[in-house]
Amino acid sequence: MKRKINILPFAVIAILFFLINSYVLSGIHTLSMNPIITPIFWAVTTLILITLIYAIQRMRDNGMDMMFKIATHVFLVLFVAELVFILLLLPPDLYRLIAKTPRNIYWVQFAMLMFFLTITLFVYGIVKGKYAYRVIKHTLYFDDLPKSFDGFTITQISDVHAGSFKSAKGVQRGIDLIKAQNSDLFVFTGDLVNNKADEVEPWVSYFSQIKSPYGQFSILGNHDYGDYIKWESEAAKIANLQQLKLHHAEIGFRLLLDEHIELYKNGEKIILAGVENWGIGFGERGDLNKALSGTNPSDFKILLSHDPTHWDNEVKNHPTKIALTLSGHTHGMQFGIEALGIKWSPVKYRYAHWAGIAEKNGRFLNINRGFGFIGFSGRVGIWPEITVIELKRIDN
């Protein structure tokens, strides 16, 4: 029996789309009453909506193919640009209804300018922004850091999502930036692939260029387990994860699976621990106590944990002090504003702290904004990040 299609979500989308575009069209008419504008406007917007609905329907059989990606990206860019237009136009419109005054044509022109600027920014984000790597540096101070590790540097990347990459030149630019930091230690905090282990195979030679004096270490993220696609059998899913683990080794990453290692310098040591993915809503696999088994309370500890909700729910209040936790996962939603003192992304409504450094009771967390991208094939305002953290000792 053929499965019935639930038309309600599509009907709601269509109605909202009609109302939003009707308001946008009213703004355009303020600038020009040319009769040809209306049929062209509705022909284009209707075509975009129909193509999106069709692409979603055929996704069951064809997956997220090129048609799906183009349809969703065109719709997303148009929708966000229209929201910007509406948010700028609606407040003065409400005022003019009260004051009974006509629309200010200059304000409509400004809203239209911002509409096209938004589209331009998204096009840049799709074409260039997703490979526009930034190096972000932090210096963190600790009173229990062993003296030998004063000035010790760590380079962190997260969320590679290798299955999304298309530009070898773009990826190599990021690798070169990582190498240029010459850090003592390199860590990768999860999501090497989108779903399948073979996604990283074309990029093994790129990431294997990364070397550091104290080694390269990694953990798994929620996407690495293959939970988001259908497998022919459970055995195939398990085999995929095993293959991914082999790829970590092939790259030169020592994968930490609820375990720790000791890093020594001049006879002193720090602990580097790593857990399997633990995140609210994304699988609570990691075992922190197992990862710390055999360590001493006085040891200086650094933890690799993909999802920052682990820090919020377990790490920051754990009986054993973990001085620094390195996470990723949020991507900063690949869209937002970080300029002129403003730090905003829609992801803040899911994660109160979504990027950069947080601190609680002398325990630090860094959330990397991600090296790659997934879903939206671009970045706007939240650029791909290479983090460099310098550890400094506070002498009492």
Q: With a cut of 50, list the residues of the chain below it in pLDDT.
A: 1-3
Residue-level pLDDT at 204:
98
Residue with tokens 């829609």: 346
Average model confidence (pLDDT) across the chain: 93
Residue-level pLDDT at 52:
86
Angle between helices 8-31 and 66-99 (to 10 degrees): 60
Residue-level pLDDT at 3:
46
In angstroms, how far is CA 335 from the centroid of its own chain? 9
Residue-level pLDDT at 319:
94
Token pair belonging to 322: 């973990």
Length of the chain: 396
Residue-level pLDDT at 380:
96
- Beta-carbon contacts of 158 under 8 Å, excluding residues fewer than 6 positions away, are 188, 189, 190, 191, 221, 306, 326, 327, 328, 329, 368, 370, 371
- Beta-carbon contacts of 167 under 8 Å, excluding residues fewer than 6 positions away, are 131
Angle between helices 66-99 and 37-62 (to 10 degrees): 140
End-to-end Cα spacing for the chain: 75
Residue-level pLDDT at 6:
62
